[in-house]
Amino acid sequence: MRELGKSGLEVSAIGLGCMGMSYAYGVVPDRNEMISLIRSAVELGVTFFDTAEVYGPYANEELVGEALAPYREDVTIATKFGFDIRDGKRVGIDSRSEHIREAVEGSLRRLQADTIGLLYQHRVDPNVPIEVVAETVKELMEEGKVQHWGLSEAGAETIRRAHKVLPLTAVQSEYSMWWRRPEQELFPTLEELGIGLVPFSPLGRGFLTGRFNRRSRFDSSDLRLTVPRFTPENIEANQVLVQLIKEIAARNAATPAQVALGWLLAKKPWIVPIPGTTNLERLKENLASQDIELGPEEVRGIDAALTKVRIAGDRYPEELERMTGL
């Protein structure tokens, strides 16, 4: 178990990102199989599950809500608001107070819950001051509908402004061996304020496991087709990173995925990654990364080696990158 910052919220050291069970990575898996997988995760010790209203939209919250209904008192579900969803499609960003309230009521219904364990603003809304967002969430917390709150992909200044109004429990951001920018401004801010970090895509959307090469093909609905890092040329260029991870894995009798996650866990005690998977064996593999012991000296050596690797391609298409505060 780990505490997210100094919030008092304790969750399993590795959570489960559930997005891919309903959305984003090609053909959607069988729903009953995913319910079974989520319940297996609970049995294996996972207490932290991540979803959002926009995943589907809505389908992922419904899935997670049904799967975790028998374990409501034993787990923390994190979900997110902040996108404008119309006719089943994301059409923009909306963090107006009335929209936040509508989103929370919908999430509570779909999650079959009386309260949301951790509520994130999914993306910063440039048209709504973050102080207004914080005040709205504060009211929802006073009403008992939200227990903790956080921001996703927000910059240091926004985090400070939000935290001043209502202390943040966590910030969710992409962070992995091939996206280390959060170390620059985000880490010092979170450490100073006592806020936890929840890295999404800790395995680089599967790339850091070594499963992709330039001949890899993706389903037409797979979002990786829109990600510059997943062009055949960039996949080939980034194999140097995969090779480095494989070498570290060999030294530690581990898999590349376990090294990538073990490195995250070793960086800070307030980091809780949320790798996603739709496969039970991969889930078990990811959870076993907690047994990988990377000491401070080895982590420094890994960091030095990573710094020498030039990553090819942006992590997002330009439209999505503009939505982040990093």
How many residues appear in the chain? 326
Encoding tokens for residue 285?
A: 């593999």
Catalytic status, residue 55: yes
Q: Calculate the alpha carbon distances from 76 to 69, 85, 148, 296 in Å.
A: 12, 25, 10, 30
d(C-alpha 239, C-alpha 208), whole Å: 9
Q: Which residues pair with 119 in a beta bridge?
A: 79, 149
C-beta of residue 59 within 8 angstroms of C-beta of residue 23: yes
Check residue 23 and give its pLDDT: 93
The upper half-sphere exposure of residue 215, i.e. CA atoms within 13 Å in the direction of its Cβ, equals 0
Cβ contacts of 135 within 8 Å, gap of 6 or more: 97, 165, 166
pTM for the whole structure = 0.98
Encoding tokens for residue 236?
A: 């080939």
The helix or strand, by DSSP H or E, that contains position 39, with its residue range, turns out to be helix 31-43
C-beta of residue 149 within 8 angstroms of C-beta of residue 7: no
pLDDT profile of the chain (326 residues), mean per 10: 97 98 94 98 98 97 98 98 95 97 98 98 97 98 98 97 98 97 97 98 98 95 95 98 98 98 98 98 98 96 98 90 75
The domain defined by 2-205+267-291 folds into TIM Barrel (3.20.20)
Cβ contacts of 100 within 8 Å, gap of 6 or more: 81, 82, 133, 136, 137, 140
CB atoms within 10 A of CB 299: 14
Which residue among the candidates 23, 25, 55, 120 is catalytic per the annotation?
55
Classify 320 as helix, strand or coil: helix
CB atoms within 10 A of CB 74: 9
Check residue 72 and give its pLDDT: 95
C-beta of residue 37 within 8 angstroms of C-beta of residue 21: yes
User: C-alpha 73: how far from its chain's center?
Assistant: 22
- How is the chain split into domains, by residue range? 2-205+267-291
The helix or strand, by DSSP H or E, that contains position 265, with its residue range, turns out to be helix 256-267
Alpha-carbon torsion angle 141, 185, 16, 203, nearest 10? 170
User: C-alpha 34: how far from its chain's center?
Assistant: 18
Long-range contacts of 246-249 (CB under 8 A, 24+ apart): 246/210, 248/302
User: C-alpha 154: how far from its chain's center?
Assistant: 13
Residue type, position 319, single letter: E
User: C-alpha 204: how far from its chain's center?
Assistant: 11
